[in-house]
Amino acid sequence: MIATIQYKSRKLKIDLLEPLDLSIPITGKSTNVNAWYLEPPTIQPEVIDGDTISVADGAVVNFNSIKFNPHSHGTHTETVGHITKESYPINKCLKQFFFLAEVVTVAPEKLGDDYVISRKQLQFALGNKKREAIVIRTMPNTREKCSKQYSDTNPTYLLEDAANYLKTKGVKHLLVDLPSVDKEQDGGALLAHNAFWNTSGKLRLDATITELIYVSNNIEDGKYMLNLQIAPFENDASPSKPILYKIIDK
């Protein structure tokens, strides 16, 4: 189904029948993607008065409780409230959900013992394009990202200058296939988070960072319409489901 939408001053055609899901689900298994030194999430039926509330165990309904951390256990979208004393819940800060996005593929650069994404790489990828969102796919890109155990692996991260470049370019929504835009162990500096959200100046309350996505190799680099879906948690972060739609007649 091809739909024509009015997006700001332009009319765009998008293919609603071919959504491109970037999310990694929470499974409740030991193979669930994981970061930040936590145990796997759990999805288990409640036990009330000795009875397991599961149809398989004789109950009339399934009644599961879920224990997880959005930052550790799957695709999640976060606000500046992730790094501030003040509370800035994602459910209040993210008020629009469709954005013009650019998908870019980056081969991280070696810097000492680290692999990083630099300002120069993002400048080359974006050029003079004006986008509200950027979706960064890092190489190599395998399905292992959907079950990787990231703790103590020193994953790729963004340099402060790269995050600052995205801020000055007007990118509001940064999506990465990494557990964090910052180095795993950085002494609490969180340079990329702070730069992107402009914590030294006027906070970018309407800007978000989405981490632990997976961008299939079947998705080409280029321009898309992004639908950034969240659960209505009053928290600095929520599990999220970013969906890309192809734009027809680019």
Domain range summary for the chain, segments of one domain joined by +: 2-26+70-248
Residues 90 and 77: beta-carbon distance below 8 Å: yes
Task: Please state the rounded mean pLDDT for residues 75-99.
Answer: 97
pLDDT value, residue 118: 98
Q: What confidence category does residue 99 fall into, taking pLDDT thresholds of 50, 70 and 90?
A: very high
What is the torsion angle, in degrees rounded to the nearest 10, for the CA atoms of residue 70, residue 72, residue 73 and residue 79? 30
- SS3 label, residue 242: strand
pLDDT, one tens digit per residue, over 127-163 is 999 999 999 999 999 999 999 999 999 999 999 999 9
114: pLDDT strictly greater than 90: yes
pLDDT value, residue 3: 81
Fold for the domain defined by 2-26+70-248 = Glucose Oxidase; domain 1 (3.50.30)
- Measured CA to CA, the distance from residue 118 to residue 165 in angstroms comes to 10
Q: What is the pTM of this model?
A: 0.96
